[in-house]
Structure 1
Amino acid sequence: VHGKTHWGTQVLTDQFLRNWGCIGIYGIVKQIMEKCAICQKVNRKVMRKAHQGGQELVLQPFQSIQVDFTELPQVQWWKYLLVIVDHLAHWVEAMPVVKATANVVCKTLVELIIPWNGMVNHIDSDRGTHFTSKILQEALGIKWELRTARHPQSSGQVERMNQTLKRILTKLMTETQMSWIECLPLPLLRTQPRSDLKVSPYEMMFGLPFLTPLNSMATYEEEEDRIKKYILSTAQTLEELREKGRIPRTAILDFKIHSVIPGDWVMVKSWKD
């Protein structure tokens, strides 16, 4: 009956029960519907919102980072911007580079990131050829996760930062008539408060407000005991700020949200509207 009419599950079940009786008929009809390629392609399926997974918990800055390349107008030999975002403090590093290659990423991490922030435990990125090369995993021994192209939300942090940097650079270039290379230091002040914590990445990293003409008159105690109290107070402030940084992060799911496993064939929905 379904092969001739392609009725829905409930309609076909009701029609069957008018003439016959069968225990579990609804489940049988539902299985037939799920195996029908035509119905799967045409019917609108109610998409229930699944639980969103998260990332591994981090305890200190630059323990876990997200990296990406963004292309900008070429200035002399500089054409790309390598953007690195820390998952905990949202601290941003952006370096102009000549080529978007695995060697450039490896060199930047070894020379600029690791010496200042310690060894990175986890990196995630897209599946660009500059990241899929095994040189990064083999040379650094860092856990490297590649994001799926069908779920761009997983790269939202670095993608949003790419857009923010481009927007600010465009404004500065328009105002000053300078190249983006010359304007780059200003967008990297890291003083803008995060929307979720109302605390800037600078404060998350150092436990102190960024010195500006408004607060440059801050005084520091010189006596030994007061210096000790000041250091302990700063350390406690840092820990409290970083604890707040862990709260908004979504935990990794410890249960399955679907029955699909690697290697299964699935039908991919093509969204046209």
Structure 2
Amino acid sequence: MRENRSEFYGKLCLITGAGQGIGLACTKSLLDQGAHVIACDVTQATLDELQQSLSTNQQQCTTLLPFDLSDPHAILNACQNLQQDNLIPELIITCAGTLHLASILELPFEALNKTLDINLKGTMLLTQQLAKMLVENSRKGAIVAVGSNAADTPRVKMSAYCTSKAGLHMWMQCLGLELAEHGIRCNIVSPGSTRTPMQEQMWNESYGERETVQGNLASHRIGIPLNKIAETKDITNAIEFLLSGKSGHITMHDLRVDGGATL
């Protein structure tokens, strides 16, 4: 009797931000389905912790690739190493990101620069280089960027983050347009409030999960109509759909997974 395998079985995937949050959930989900994962994060220690949480079989299917998305030389070096080792991922998921909360009038230039370097410019350069590798080797594939529903909804004290995600969305749409002739699909998953370390960074003694769901008129947040924040599985389900053959005629699309918060 033929074994019923996931379509991701044996596929080579690259995931940024693999050490926590959505990236970690996505890494473990794809490994559970038999994929081979190139797990990327900013430090070796973060990736070592990830590997220790995996089974022996999963460890054998995982390649750890530490590099800093804010460093273009590190990105180019990482891609060169992948090329030399003939590790050309056909499925690419960019989850890495950073958030700095501050009003525009008090936003330090260093924080603005770091947000744009990681969330936008670093991801642009990485996906450009990986796309080149796919095209030069005549490989088809799919790229999914984790964006945000804040990309086109202004948020108080989140200007740098919103701007970086807005730029990322347009980059992915342009990338998808140019890569379509090569059979490479490029899409965006835009989460709303999701139970991750980044979300918890925004919570404090006076503002937490309950207030996030209910919304806050003073900060111009409408809340979440489905009356709950997302779990990481909600986001990974959407990512895997856009990677899969079920979305074979979908590219340049922005899939909102925010419980209706975009309203």
TM-score (norm 2): 0.27
Higher helix share: 2
TM-score (norm 1): 0.26
